Amino acid sequence: MYSISRRHAFIVHRYRHGLSLAHDSQDTTIFFNKLNGYAPPYGTPRHRGNRPSSLLPFFSDSICELLRGSAGLFFGKIDTRDNFCRYQHSDNGPPSASDNIGDRMTVNKDEQQTWVYHNVSANGLSFRVAVAGSGDRLLLCLHGFPESALSWRHQLAPLAHAGYRVWAPDLRGYAGTSKPDGIEAYHLDQLLDDVTALINHAQARQVILVGHDWGGVIAWYYAMRHAARIDGLIILNAPHPACFEREIRRWRQLRRSWYMLAGQIPRLPEWILTAKQARLIGVIFDIMRAHPDSIPDHIVRCYRQQAAEPGALTAMINYYRAAILGGGARRQRRLGYPTVRLPTLVIWGLHDQALTRHNLDGLDGFVMDLTIIPFPHAGHFVHEDDPQRVTDDMLCWLSDRFPRASSPS
């Protein structure tokens, strides 16, 4: 059963109810018991030694579900509209602390958000960055696979209103950012250099690094390798590398990670995922979003369009190839995993079909100042499944750990 420390459970309870963080042992115990009472959202067959008794659970739980969802990939009807999403793009140069963000970015005619895209030159690439707010306190938000900066659409305006300058770049190889060729261009060292270059360009006094999925993996490594460059860390459904190494040796995580191995095959994953205007990308969201409204169809179409661009999926899959076949993860393991001493908030959707909640077990052994907030009814895309509560918890944690962040600049 998933468990969490009493201190973490207490903090979760206090944040949820808008109370102070003063210790109350009775309150802590009550919530701790409730939290530990959460049942897994879907059953994991418990075989002796945590090994499968046959290959059937593997296919039924993972591959068959994906294949069933994509049964119409080559034979079903597809959306033939050319323009999946529309946005206003600013070419007025890179943003700075003094920028007045007045332009609007539109993802469809009914939904408007106050942010703008800028092009930022960093680490030899051109990054498309969604920008909201101004000031010298930077929230740098890194997205995951198979999304883009658009995944932070719910958080950009509220975080900017709280007094932060918020940058959400398309990571290298994604959407509007440059797509360098070759697996070596997606090694973790290159990804960390991207973060350093963006921070240098922003010239902010305070930097909080935020990451989801692959963006969270990059953020974990950055906090270990370049801790002096950032002031805090927010992670959403991305495992600490040491915890993931432990879990990937166990069936409960291995059965969910088959796609990482499948991605090592040359060319075949790109061919499958780009067919029918990247229809299988849409299937991924159909399977993994908590409910249809959490990631609306017009947003999914936008992700599909971005993935279908020439070279995009090769770049996106090269993250996995560089980490495994390219030896990137092995090199990082040799460097070790020093304790993260930065204030760290981990937000985790417990219905994650790609990452078991056991990736949280023992996390406080690697992070000195840790707060964990579980979301029982959200999945892998937690900040889109439950955007209001995720944003509220981020703001509450920021105001507690960085008090000036709660006052608009």
Domains, in order of start, for the chain: 6-36 (no CATH), 58-73+96-406 (3.40.50.1820)
pLDDT digits (tens, 9 = 90+) for 16-53: 444 333 333 333 222 333 333 333 332 333 233 333 33
Residue 354 token pair: 């790609």
CB 129 within 8 A of CB 236: no
Tokens of 143: 């997205």
Asked if 273 and 77 count as a contact pair (C-beta separation under 8 A), the reply is no
Condensed to tens digits (0 to 9), the pLDDT of residues 226-250 reads 999 999 999 999 999 999 999 999 9
Q: Share the mean pLDDT of the chain.
A: 78
Q: What is the pLDDT of residue 76?
A: 35
Contacts of 193 by beta carbon, 8 Å cutoff, 6+ apart: 123
The pTM is what? 0.77
Please, which residues bridge with residue 142 across strands?
A: 211
For residue 292, the model assigns a pLDDT of 84
- For residue 263, the model assigns a pLDDT of 86
**Looking up tokens 């990308």, which residue turns up?**
281
> Can you give the pLDDT at residue 11?
47
Note the pLDDT of residue 260.
87
Amino acid at 233: L
Q: What percent of the chain has pLDDT over 90?
A: 64
Q: How far apart are CA 160 and CA 271, in angstroms?
A: 39
The Cα-based distances of 274 to 63, 132, 146, 278, 313 in angstroms read 18, 32, 12, 4, 7
Sheet strand arrangement including 340-349: 116-122, 125-132, 165-169, 137-142, 206-212, 232-236, 340-349, 367-375
Tens digits of residue pLDDT in 71-127: 333 323 333 233 334 333 333 343 333 333 233 344 443 344 578 999 999 999 999
pLDDT in tens, 50-61: 333 333 333 334
pLDDT at 165 over 70: yes
Residue 402 backbone class (left: φ over 0; alpha: ψ -120 to 50; beta: rest): beta
